[in-house]
Structure 1
Amino acid sequence: MKKVAFIFPGQGSQKIGMGKDFFENSDIAKDMISKASERLGINFEKLLFEENDKIGQTEYTQPAILLVSSIANAIFKETSNIKPEFVLGHSLGEFSALVSAGAIDYLDALELVHKRGKFMNDACAGSGAGMMALVGLDDEKVETLCKEQREKGLKVWPANYNMDGQLVLAGLKADLESLIDTFKEAGAKRAIVLDMSVASHCELLQSAVENLRPYLEEFLIDSFEVDVISNVTAKAYNTKEEAIDLLSEQLINPVKYKHSIASKDEDVDAFIEFGNGIVLKGLNRKITKKPTLNVSDMTSLKKTIEALNE
Structure 2
Amino acid sequence: MITYVFPGQGSQQQGMGSELFDEFKELTAQADEMLGYSIKRLCVENPYSNLNKTQFTQPALYVVNALSYLKKTQHSDKKPDFVAGHSLGEYNALFAAEVFDFETGLKLVRKRGELMSMVSNGGMAAVMGLNEEQVSQALKENHLHTIDIANVNAPYQIVISGKKEDIEKAAPVFEAIKDVTRFLPLNVSGAFHSRYMSKAKQEFEQFLDTFHFSSLSIPVISNVFARPYKQEQIKLTLADQIDHSVKWTESVHYLIGKGQMEFEEIGPGHVLTGLIHRIKKDGEPLSH
| TM-score, length-scaled by structure 1 | 0.85
SS, match of residue 78 in structure 2? coil
1:222 aligned to 2:214? yes
Deviation at 1:154, TM superposition (A): 4.7
SS, match of residue 188 in structure 2? coil
Task: Kindly report which structure 2 residues correspond to 1:159-308, keeping only aligned pairs within 5 A, or say none.
Answer: 159-186=150-177, 187-239=179-231, 241-267=232-258, 268-288=260-280
Q: CA RMSD in A?
A: 1.6
**Aligned mates of 1:190, 1:11 — CA distance in 2:** 20
2:129 counterpart residue number? 136
Q: Is the CA contact (8 Å cut-off) linking 2:7 and 2:85 kept in structure 1?
A: yes
**CA shift digits 1:128-174 (9 cap, x unpaired):** 2110111111211101222345xx46521111111111111110121
Q: Is the CA contact (8 Å cut-off) linking 1:69 and 1:96 kept in structure 2?
A: yes
Q: How many aligned residue pairs are there?
A: 278
2:59 aligned to which of 63, 80, 84: 63
**CA shift digits 1:262-303 (9 cap, x unpaired):** 1111435311211111111111111237xxxxxxxxxxxxxx
Q: Moved runs in structure 1, 4+ residues, more than 3 A? A: none
| TM-score, length-scaled by structure 2 | 0.92
1:86 aligned to 2:77? no
Give the 3 Å change call, closer, same or farther, for CA 51–145 of structure 1 in structure 2: same
1:16 counterpart residue number? 14
5+ unaligned residues in a row in structure 2: which ranges? 282-288
SS, match of residue 81 in structure 2? strand
Deviation at 1:220, TM superposition (A): 4.5
Give the 3 Å change call, closer, same or farther, for CA 206–148 of structure 1 in structure 2: farther
Q: Is the CA contact (8 Å cut-off) linking 1:104 and 1:219 kept in structure 2?
A: no
The one-letter amino acid paired with 1:263 is: Y
**Aligned mates of 1:200, 1:147 — CA distance in 2:** 20
**Aligned mates of 2:114, 2:144 — CA distance in 1:** 28
**Aligned mates of 1:110, 1:148 — CA distance in 2:** 42
Q: Is the CA contact (8 Å cut-off) linking 1:146 and 1:158 kept in structure 2?
A: no
Q: Is the CA contact (8 Å cut-off) linking 2:81 and 2:218 kept in structure 1?
A: yes
**Aligned mates of 2:167, 2:193 — CA distance in 1:** 15
Give the 3 Å change call, closer, same or farther, for CA 283–220 of structure 1 in structure 2: farther
State, as a whole percentage, how many aligned pairs show the same letter: 35
Q: Is the CA contact (8 Å cut-off) linking 2:255 and 2:261 kept in structure 1?
A: no
Give the 3 Å change call, closer, same or farther, for CA 258–220 of structure 1 in structure 2: farther
**Aligned mates of 1:184, 1:97 — CA distance in 2:** 36
5+ unaligned residues in a row in structure 1: which ranges? 290-310
1:34 counterpart residue number? 29
**Aligned mates of 1:45, 1:174 — CA distance in 2:** 36
The one-letter amino acid paired with 1:133 is: A
